[in-house]
């Protein structure tokens, strides 16, 4: 059974940093691209970032480019999202999501983590 | 970015109904279109990709159609567990984008 277990959310002040983790099991983690998607009541679902199966290739939404870094440790079956210079508008529930396709990914997401709330507020 | 517009934003239906949800893209996305179902407090669940391909394990009462800019998700014989919010998503071009969702609730 595919499982994605997220951790690392919480309340931070504007300008601070936070790292999200997503521990994967039940599939060959190193074979699939992985995504981060966030959700807010106002903006709905917003794709944030993708990392290729090898970790070499990454892509980001313009709203987070230069502030967020996606990475993965295939030896630990874990995906990360390092979030720096956080802003109030980054407040959202963040989901990690497995890409349906192997390799570099195609942004189709077939399994999702349980979500973790990130709140940026002073 | 390609904008995805879903209609209606919400509506009520009864168990056993056949419902059709609509998604429109601001540009041609060919068949690079996925549908997700989300229930309160849960993560989205992939139902359909490539506009009409049913994801493994999804009941056959769900079906998708369309290409280009106009797409539909149909649910035959609505079941209790189908009352949820449905999102479309294009993955034709960067960045992938989602519609704002259609909430289906019980009449």
Which backbone phi and psi does B87 adopt, to 5 degrees? -120, 140
The closest of A8, A1, A12 to A78, measured between CA atoms, is A8
**Tens digit of each residue's pLDDT (9 = 90 or more) over A50-79:** 999 999 999 999 999 999 999 999 999 999
Q: Is B98 on the interface with A (CB under 8 A)?
A: yes
Distance between A96 CA and the closest CA of chain B, angstroms: 10
| Interface with chain A: mutation pick from B5, B54, B96, highest number of A CBs within 10 Å | B96
Q: Is B55 on the interface with A (CB under 8 A)?
A: yes
Beta-bridge partners for B70: B24, B67
Cis preceding linkage at A115, omega within 30:
no
CB contact under 8 A, A47 and B44: no
**Tens digit of each residue's pLDDT (9 = 90 or more) over B77-98:** 999 999 999 999 999 999 999 9
């Amino acid at each position: 059974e595919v499982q994605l277990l997220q951790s690392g959310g919480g309340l931070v002040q504007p300008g601070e940093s936070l790292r999200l983790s997503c521990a994967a099991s039940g599939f060959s983690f190193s074979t699939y691209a992985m995504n981060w998607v966030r959700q807010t009541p106002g903006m709905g679902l917003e794709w944030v970032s993708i990392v290729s199966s090898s970790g070499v290739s990454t892509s980001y939404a313009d709203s987070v480019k230069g502030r967020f870094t996606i990475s993965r440790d295939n030896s630990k079956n874990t995906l990360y999202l390092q979030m720096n210079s956080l802003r109030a508008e980054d407040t959202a529930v963040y989901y990690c999501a497995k890409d349906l396709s192997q390799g570099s990914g195609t942004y189709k997401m077939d399994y999702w983590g349980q979500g973790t709330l990130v709140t940026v507020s002073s | 970015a390609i904008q995805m517009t879903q209609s209606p934003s919400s509506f009520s239906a009864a168990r056993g109904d056949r419902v059709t949800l609509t998604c429109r893209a601001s540009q041609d996305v060919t068949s690079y279109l996925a549908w997700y179902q989300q229930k309160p407090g849960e993560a989205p669940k992939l139902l359909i990709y490539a506009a009409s391909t049913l994801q493994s394990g999804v009941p056959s009462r769900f079906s998708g159609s369309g290409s280009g800019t106009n797409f539909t998700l149909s649910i035959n014989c609505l079941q209790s567990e189908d009352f949820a919010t449905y999102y479309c998503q294009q993955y034709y071009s960067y960045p992938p984008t989602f519609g704002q969702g259609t909430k289906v609730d019980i009449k």
